[in-house]
Chains A and B, each alone.
Chain A
Amino acid sequence: MPVLLEATLKSAVLLFVLLTGFAYLTLMERKVLARLQARIGPNRAGPMGLLQPLADGLKLIFKESVTPAGVDKPMYFMAPVLVVVPALILFAVIPIGQGPTFQLASDINVGALYVVGVMGVAVYGITLAGWASNNKYAALGGLRASAQVISYELGMGLSIVAVVLMASSASLADIVEAQMPGNILGWFIFRQPVAAAIFAITAMAELARAPFDLVEAEQELTAGFMTEYSGMKFALFFMGEYVKMIAVSALFATFFLGGWSGPFVDQVPILSVVYFTIKVIACLLLMIWTRATLPRMRYDRLMSFGWKVLTPVAIANVIVTALLIVLGVPGYK
């Protein structure tokens, strides 16, 4: 079964890269955030603090794993897994480079739908963690998470609809191909700026990152849904959040920044992976920059922003895009 073997090998490599990437993303975030705040950041463990993720991991492994009294045990233990797994399997459909070598299943024709579905599943983990912890802060965090993700998923889905309309395909490989008429202006960020902006904002809300981190707002909810989790269970939530950060950045790069496209990819296919990585890192830096800049939103404003601004604008954007495509405006088919 060579197909199965190939898929297994690719998955193994992808998992390794993602988990290493997650570890170093935490370091990068701490470093970049520190520089944005005129600090230095971790620099004690190893040269330039490069062994910091290892130190953090070891520390978390050796922490006592506390299970509080009164938790709903099956749910309590399942929740971290439910957060990590969707974040990881999102990558199945993302084309990481040119050609089938660098793609796992990116040619499936419902790729965009799969993305929206899997991102929606991830919120179950957070909600269940909040519910099963038997803790009021956790419950509030879980409630906020479900409300927030449902509200913002709508805008995100609609912004993806615009992209799918432009590419006239829901396969992520086709979406990348559709952004390659030979110049940078083919990228959907230039042809679909509204959808790109909405996707960027809603993605950050889906990740529950600043300025949308009401789910784990320290000042109000201690650690939100993660309050009762410690040791490796906490590490899994952390991993889920950061892998999802990478996943969402990869999706933004795929949908709006031309995916793996770039000069000379036809001659040197490995360059496509490099371009993709650069684009993903750029998105990650933007996310960290945003976290350093914007304060947390108020809960009612978060809701009204999602429902009264993002959703209507996204719907209008879909209608306008569809009209432009039907009318055959240049740049829109």
Chain B
Amino acid sequence: MTGPDIDAAEIAALRRRFPESFRPAWRGRLVAGLALAGLVALAGYAMVRLDFSAARLLNGLGRLGEFSLLMLPPEAGGRGWAFLQALTETLGIAFIGTLTAALLAFPVAFLAARNVVPNPFVHFTVRRGLDVVRSIDVLIWALIWINVVGLGPFAGALAIACADFGALGKLFSEAVETVDGKPGEGVSASGGAELHRIRFGLIPAVLPVLGSQVLYFFESNTRSATIIGIVGAGGIGQYLTELIRVLELRQVAFLILMILVTVAIIDAVSGRLRRALIGGAAW
């Protein structure tokens, strides 16, 4: 570990030959130091502004410790069947929401892609529209849809469909834009019509990418669908909110475990499907 094998004279020689390497990088350090100081100062201001206090933090941590003891052992409290139904509902919301979003986003993505619609005005408008839809959180969409179709999982599915429509539209259009144009040219050169070009040149290239993105969104939506019940839009979130409010912590722990297991299963299945999809396309 210790004892350098070169002596002082050699180091001095090296120092003479490569002065640049031995000089401390003052400028870089200054910039890094200033950036760090800025970050810390802003963090300090935020803590003061948001009423951080050590006493509250310690108190709360103590209470959290008590909570985690109260969570053991997790139990369903005789409501296992209802929980399972709510979990199915959650999965249904995620599935229908993602599917609807994908079906809506597919045609719009072509409008937003620069290589399909060359008119900059059209794809700029479509993209900003997608951005607006995307900026509104799922929970806000859920509140809006509850006003339209009433409380329940259908509102949740519509909320997920809306929020993801914006995100998927953007991703799809980027996938369409980066696709290789040569297969399409090949189809055209051997006498294919425009529809042939899209069907055999474009769609086979983008479909696996889009499919894998949709699966990825389905994974993340199973997570979103668990919380959508907080505002009354169905799924397991309704139970979760209620039980946390009345401090039935052992049942809360049971619900969280159920969610963890489900999400892990969905992740594994969809990860496998995604790999199969992308492996099927010659990358």
Q: Do A and B bind each other?
A: no
